[in-house]
């Protein structure tokens, strides 16, 4: 239980946990699926270890850049990634859990925000954007032939 605002998204992917984990852990793959539909990405830093910095510039279809900075807090290969998103706004903690099941892996995203008025208004938008992230990830995995 938490006093923070929680956004939870989960989806089953028909790949093993290592493949799913690798789609995040490899910045060359990550840049192709991160963010909602219509975004392209440039990864400036990706120090994939606890305490390491992740910097990604997300560019919307209208050309607007969103520079994001996060710090990795916990990494358990094939099982879990936790990072703290600092900038540009909406400070939150992201917990990504990779749960193996017959025929594939559940990916569970749990985002924790301070329950500010602004964050509460964005809650539905963020949940929908996360689903678009999952769609893009699924497309990447299908294109890679990783079934």
CATH number, residue 110? 3.30.530.20
DSSP state letter for 14? S
Q: For residue range 20-77, list pLDDT tens digits in order.
A: 999 999 999 999 999 999 999 999 999 999 999 999 999 999 999 999 999 999 999 9
Number of domains in the chain: 1
Q: What does 36-96 look like in DSSP terms, one character per residue?
A: STT-EEEEEEE--STT-EEEEEEE-TTS-EEEEEEEEEEEETTTEEEEEEEESS--EEEEE
- Rounded to a whole number of angstroms, the CA Rg of the chain reads 15
User: For residues 19 and 1, what is the distance between their CA atoms, to the nearest angstrom?
Assistant: 31
Q: What is the pTM of this model?
A: 0.92
In this prediction, residue 88 carries a pLDDT of: 63
User: For residues 26 and 78, what is the distance between their CA atoms, to the nearest angstrom?
Assistant: 13
DSSP state letter for 28? H
The boundaries of the domain holding residue 124 are 5-143
CB neighbours of residue 111 within 10 Å: 22
Q: What confidence category does residue 144 fall into, taking pLDDT thresholds of 50, 70 and 90?
A: confident
What angle do helix axes 17-25 and 117-143 make, rounded to 10 degrees?
Answer: 110
User: For residues 55 and 44, what is the distance between their CA atoms, to the nearest angstrom?
Assistant: 5
117 with 11: CB under 8 angstroms? no
The three-class DSSP label of residue 4 is coil
């Amino acid at each position: 239980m938490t006093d923070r605002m929680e956004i939870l998204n989960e989806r089953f992917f028909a790949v093993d946990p290592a493949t799913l984990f690798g789609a995040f852990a490899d910045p060359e793959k990550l840049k192709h699926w991160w963010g909602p539909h219509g975004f392209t990405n440039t990864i400036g830093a990706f120090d994939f270890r606890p305490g390491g910095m992740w910097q990604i510039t997300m560019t919307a279809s209208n050309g607007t850049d969103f520079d994001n900075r996060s710090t990795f807090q916990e990494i358990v290969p094939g099982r879990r990634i936790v990072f703290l998103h600092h900038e540009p706004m909406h400070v939150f903690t992201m917990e990504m859990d990779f749960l193996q099941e017959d025929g594939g892996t559940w990916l569970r995203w749990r985002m924790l925000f301070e329950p500010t008025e602004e964050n509460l208004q964005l809650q539905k938008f963020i949940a929908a954007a996360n689903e678009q992230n999952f769609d893009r990830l699924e497309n990447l995995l299908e294109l890679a032939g990783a079934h």
